[in-house]
A and B are shown apart, each in its own frame.
Chain A
Amino acid sequence: MLRASTAVVLFFTLSLAWGQAPAINYRGVVNAASMAPQGLPGGAIAQGSIFTISGSNLGPAAPVAATTFPLGSSLGGVSIRVFQGNTSVNALPLFVSSSQINAIMPSNAPLGMASVQVTYNSQASNASPVRVASSVFGIFAAGNTGFGPGILQNITAQNQPGNNLLAPATRNQTVTILGTGLGPITGADNVAPPSGNLPTQVEVFVGGQSAGVKSSGRSACCAGVDQITFTVPASAPLGCWVPVIVRTGGTTVSNAVTMAISSDGSPCSEPANPLAQAFIQGGNIGTLMLFRAAVHEDTGVLAPVDVSNDVFYYDFAAVPSNPFAYAFFLSQPPAGSCNLFMQAGDFWTNTTPPPANPPARLNPGSSFTLTGAAGAQNLTVDPAARALYLGTFAPFAPGLPNLLTLNPGNYTVSSVGGAAVGAFQAQLSMPATFSWTNRDQISPVDRTKPLTLTWTGVGPQQSVGILGGNVDLPTNSSAIFFCVAPPGSASFTVPAQVLNVIPAARANALRSKGAIYLFNMTLDDGAPLSVPGLDSALAIAGHLQGRTVTFQ
């Protein structure tokens, strides 16, 4: 009786499993390294590259990986068809599971818009659109997010250790990038990769500096994996998070990852970033910030709009030690360089995936006091949040009171402390705002040319951060750049290879969100702050200015 019941249950379970057809998620096919969404210029899948399919019931519950050559067109009962009209080729599965497949796009896959279809246990999935290109390179990142520390190897006479925050490369050292998408090969994709260079033109930029490329072709390690060997430029900036990007064919730019570079190969340092060491080595860290954000919007509106807001920002967190530590703002690029982010979602509205290794927040308490020339102001904050708005002024709306409070001058932020952060006082000096001198001349932005931004009113030791990019709403794709100008500079030129990744604005202005922000609140603009319970803290006061732009 028991046996019969068990059999029935098993049969029923198997029937259910058998009966559910595989389904590829909407927009569920991306480059396995860059994870770039399809709506971006770098969102195509290259012939011969590894791509990832996400979905449900795509394959067996217990993952199966291909381990030997030749690779078959079926793995664990899973096969993948890539077709365009009457042309159809089979992708080569490398890893299959119920929710994810990694496979090689055949070198002879049809170029242009094509469709991917998964068959598992004789049941076919929906067709999912994909754009196939000859070369679109993606660099593998340690966090599998397409950004942050990349998978790079420092080449020495003895070995090839992985590059990380504790094991940086040096200038003039040979380094290998691992990625996928250099382009097709002439031989079969299912056998051991051929050695030698591929014909695709390859450029590597390290911290914005062009690097000498020694070789670029398939990696001997793995099917579909490419490796690019280059020399770290002698002029490359030192730092823990130096951006690395690859441009193929003179036009298509990869995702950006970071690498660590030090003068002698010892663990990297960030002299201009007071929080860096605590962030890398692990500990409790915090940031306080007072700033005024002024934005000018003249794209997609009936009339230009200016709005200013004063903001109190507070963030306290416990971070673990991690040789691949990365967080968006803490891991800012070295002065004079730019980092890139290509992600699904609307970056400006916080729907993009969080950076790798999100730290645990610490409760700083809910009561702060802000004291300035105008007197003391009690600030009741939500410990789980990060920002409190202090006041607004919108001159486009006449008659509205000016509620801004952070006028230039000295301020004291006092806290009675919270569960994890002790009481403290922070002294901050709110500077006069700087002037973005060519703000009104930069839009539209030609993405094929460098973009120079100019300003005045920044101190000789101050850096200016630049954040810009565009969101292509219909495809749910964001491409963002984050640059830091050298201290005391009055201008910065965003390189064309950075702007290349930004999606063009749509004809309907409401379908794109292009913007550029300048701010003098980079980490080197902050002052160390002593806070009981924290290993390292920083207080920053400054300004952010932004405007909408149209990327053409």
Chain B
Amino acid sequence: MSFKPIRLLPLLLGLGLFAEGVLAQFSVVFGDRDHLDNWIAQGNHFTPFNLPGNPENAVLVCMKDSGDYYMVSFPGGTGSQAQPNVVKVGTSLHCVASFDFSGAPLPYTGLIKGLRYLQCLADGSCSFSFPMSAPPLDRVDAGMVELPQAFAAAPAGTAGPPPPLLPLFRTVPLPPGYPPSALSGFTAGCDPANHVGFLLVEHSTGTLWAVQACNGTRSSTGIPVVSNPLQVAFTPDQSMALVTSFDGAVNFIDLASLRPVATLSTPGDHPSGIAISSDGSTAYVTSFTNSGALLTIDIASRKLTNRLPLAFYPQSVFLSPDDSLAWVTFPFSNTVTVVDTLTATVVQTLSILTPYGVAFNSTGTRAYVSSRQLGLVQAIDTANYSTIKSVPVGAGPVEILIAPDDTFGVVSNFDGSSLTVFDLTTFATSTVRLPSQPLGMAFAQ
């Protein structure tokens, strides 16, 4: 007899408990309300229809606990016939999702923020609703969605039709110069009361730009930091941002005033990557030099507390969810070094060609490392550092994000100007093109 809730409960929970709650905290959403209005007005069916206005897209991601997700994208284009693309990964036909559809462009002034619900039934039909209660969104829209007959995702690594083009939802104008080199997002995402949603690091001018996540408004003045800034990280309480400057400094930025409040000089070291412990006490910084090192900084005292010599040119550092391990990428020596943070000693060195980004699932049992040259994301079992799967993604994958409910990951393919979503269970992938090369990414609530 094997009736045990240990098996049963996940099924129960998958119908609406944790997966949903997690999802309610964030989304990967691009889009605007106009398109949805038209879509709904046309009978709530996924049938070809005209997308008026500017070429903007909506990508709606629905997930569940078992890793299934549906991604619906609306190819844009003024007056074009738009055939929505629906991608389904996985086998389950139940899908519950709620997420924030933020980012409503003008003329909508109200914040679009509400729960969405998508349910796909055994006959292949899906229902989809948009409860929007805040004025002027004073009505409830709901309808049935007819999924196209052929929407199975191509297995990972197989050739398929060119991915759909996903125009940028919004671009944030920046002063002329090099493109921003890093982006870090608040977990709070689109919050009208919060004037900072993202920080863009402009390497060439030594400037940070704060961007409001709701409407894309950039701060009127930049935040000056020590020259050649590279990466930024927020403290968990989101009171402070720490920014590495290649020219020998770590900048402490007060996020309430958007002003630098302190600078820690690192003579002889060139700060590059940065990660902050979940208790906000410690920052780990890589020194991108030929005598590379991992620097440990006590954030309260703003002092350097340890310098662990490593191989040459460590670029970025990523902390495991329990903060016990720091994974350091060495793109020049094609390795990832894992450091025990308690003893500041090396635990393991992995051989991965041109590693760039690292991300973990919520429990830290899996690590995902992008290999830029190979165009892969490697899924690694952290118990013993064995590779579970090498997932082909787009060209030149760099940064990786993992959904908080551990259903999917997103990798930005810099060289291929695309984003790839990969399922964490099946490793099936779906790629959308972007009009420019993506680098930094952040989930907006």
Contact = CB atoms under 8 A, between A and B. Distances in A.
B202 interface: no
Contacts of A399: 129, 131, 140-143
A313 B131 CA distance: 32
B16 A295 contact: yes
B363 A302 contact: no
A221 B39 CA distance: 75
Contacts of B324: 129
Given A307-B17, A311-B12, A544-B12, A397 B2 contact: no
Contacts of B383: 25-28
Given A474-B278, A510-B404, A301 B25 contact: yes
Nearest to A291: B12
Contacts of A287: 1, 3
Contacts of A473: 321, 362-363
A538 to B, nearest CB: 9
Given A127-B342, A127-B343, A548-B17, A293 B115 contact: no
A300 B24 contact: yes
B21 A299 contact: yes
Interface string A71-103: 000000000000000000000000000000000
A126 interface: yes
Nearest to A306: B16
Contact of B2 (A25, A295, A301, A315): A315
A295 B17 contact: yes
A183 to B, nearest CB: 24
Contacts of B325: 26
A394 B119 CA distance: 10
Contacts of A394: 16, 96, 117, 119
B365 interface: yes
Contacts of A351: 363, 365
Interface string B9-29: 111110111101110110000
A416 B12 CA distance: 27
A127 B16 contact: no
A301 B21 contact: yes
Q: How large is the interface on B (under 10, 10 to 19, 20 to 34, 35 or more residues)?
A: 35 or more
Interface stretch (B151-159, B225-233, B345-353): B345-353
Given A113-B342, A354-B6, A311 B1 contact: no
Given A56-B384, A302-B24, A515 B17 contact: yes
Interface string B316-349: 0000111111000000000000001011011110
Contacts of A127: 340, 342-343, 345, 347
Interface residues of A, number: 82
Given A350-B10, A389-B15, A398-B131, A361 B25 contact: no
| Most chain A beta-carbon neighbours within 10 Å: one of B6, B129, B131, B236 | B6
A255 B96 CA distance: 35
Interface stretch (A238-246, A278-286, A422-430): A278-286
B50 interface: no
B3 A313 contact: yes
A10 to B, nearest CB: 27
B33 interface: no
Given A345-B363, A386-B7, A387-B11, A305 B2 contact: no
Contacts of B204: none
B347 A297 contact: no
Given A347-B6, A467-B9, A473-B321, A129 B236 contact: no
B399 interface: no
B1 A275 contact: yes
B322 A474 contact: yes
A263 to B, nearest CB: 25
A313 B2 CA distance: 12
Nearest to B94: A389
Given A295-B13, A309-B15, A396-B115, A330 B363 contact: no
11 contacts: A127-B347, A129-B342, A287-B1, A297-B18, A309-B15, A328-B5, A329-B5, A392-B96, A398-B140, A399-B140, A548-B18
Given A25-B384, A311-B11, 9 more contacts: A113-B342, A293-B15, A315-B2, A319-B1, A350-B10, A386-B3, A510-B404, A515-B17, A546-B12
Report, nearest first, the 3 A-B pairs whose CB atoms are least far apart: A399-B142, A307-B16, A397-B117
